[in-house]
Structure 1
Amino acid sequence: MTQRVELAAVMDRLAVDELITDYARAVDDAEWASYEGLFVPEGRADYRSAGGIEGRAAEVAGWLAESLTLFGMRQHLIVNRRLRFGQLEQDLGDTARVEADYVNPMRFAKGEAAGGVPDFVAGGRYAFGLVRTYDGWRFTEVVVEEKWRRLSERPLS
């Protein structure tokens, strides 16, 4: 591998990492237009394993916007990212797959006013499908595989 190819691979890894971070921030900060912009136009998300829906990114963003109003605080921690580049039309590196574990603590909105309402914490694994576009890396799909969840009787703070 030449230094130029190695540098391009590092740059792609950083861009994919930034996209995943942008995803977490968009969901945590309720930035639904930004969320939709992370996907290709036909991109899909699947939250069924966590009790949600599967569909086009715009449809899922609407569902998230409504359902996540239950939580006044959200914080996705996405770790242990495993990235693999693939091929599209004979060009190596135009697609990617990422599997990453997550822990997602959330505070119920009522708990902020009432104090002491249980916190909700979930964990699992994301599967991200990505493609390189003229605008940079974008998601073709996001699939959530929730593995566990719990309600804490005492607040995290």
Structure 2
Amino acid sequence: MTQRVELATVMDRLAVDGLVTEYAVAVDDGDWEAYRRLFTVDGRADYRSAGGIEGDAGQVAGWLEETMRLFPMRQHLIVNRRVRFGLLEQDIGDTARIQADYVNPMRFAGPDGGPSEPDFVCGGRYAFAFLRTGEGWRLREVVVREKWRRTPRVRQQDT
């Protein structure tokens, strides 16, 4: 591998890794327009394992916008990223995949719509698929594979 190819690979790796971060920030900040812009025109997302929907990025962004109102405080922690580049039409590096683990603490909304107790925490693994486009790298698919969740316990009242 030449230095030029190695540098291009590093730059691509940084670009797709940056998209994963932009994805997490868009969801955590509730920036659904930014979320939509991360995807290719035919991009899809699948949140079914976490009790959600599967559909095109626009449909899923609308569902997330409604659902995430229950959780005004949320924070994705995405770690253990494994990046793989692939082929599209025989051009090396036109596709990429990242498998990454996540922990996602969220706080339920209170009566005024702001954060309240208790917290809800879930974790699992993302499968991200990317495509190099004329505008740069974009998400082609996001699949959430929730592995666990911790929901709040109902406290017993002293009688």
Rounded to whole Å, the distance in 2 between the matches of 1:43 and 1:113 is: 31
Which residue identity is paired with 1:124?
A: G
Within 5 Å, give how 1:67-78 maps onto structure 2: 67-78=67-78
User: What does the per-residue CA deviation read over 1:45-92, in whole Å, with 9 as the maximum and x for residues that have no partner?
Assistant: 000000000000000000000000001101000000000000011111
Letter in 2 for 1:110: G
Structure with the greater alpha carbon radius of gyration: 2
Identify the residue that residue 39 of structure 1 maps to in structure 2: 39
3-state SS, counterpart of residue 117 of structure 1: strand
Q: Percent identity?
A: 69
Q: Deviations over 1:3-50 (max 9, x none)?
A: 000000000000011000000000000000000000001100000000
Which sections of structure 2, spanning at least 5 residues, go unmatched?
154-159
**Match of 1:9, as an amino acid?**
T
User: What is the TM-score when the length of structure 2 is the normalising length?
Assistant: 0.92
CA distance in 2 between counterparts of 1:115 and 1:127 reads: 29
Aligned residue for 1:130, secondary structure, equals: strand
CA deviations on 1:87-132 (whole Å, 9 max, x unpaired) are 0111110001110000000011118879862200000000001100
Aligned to 1:30: 30
Q: Which runs of 4+ in 1 moved over 4 A?
A: 111-116
- Which deviates the most, 133-142 or 107-116? 107-116
CA distance in 1, matches of 2:53, 2:114: 30
Report the Cα distance in structure 1 between the residues aligned to 2:18 and 2:128, rounded to whole angstroms. Answer: 13
Residue segments in structure 1 that go unaligned for 5+ positions in a row: none
Length-normalised TM-score, structure 1 = 0.93
Q: CA RMSD in A?
A: 1.6
**Alpha-carbon distance change, 62 to 113 in structure 1, aligned in 2, over 3 angstroms:** closer
Counterpart for residue 139 of structure 2: 139
Q: Residues 55 and 114 from structure 1, CA distance in 2 versus in 1: closer, same or farther, beyond 3 angstroms?
A: closer
Residue aligned with 1:118, SS: strand
The alignment status of 1:120 with 2:107, answered yes or no, reads no
Give the partner amino acid of 2:65.
Answer: A
Q: Matched residues in 2 for 1:116 and 1:143: separation?
A: 29
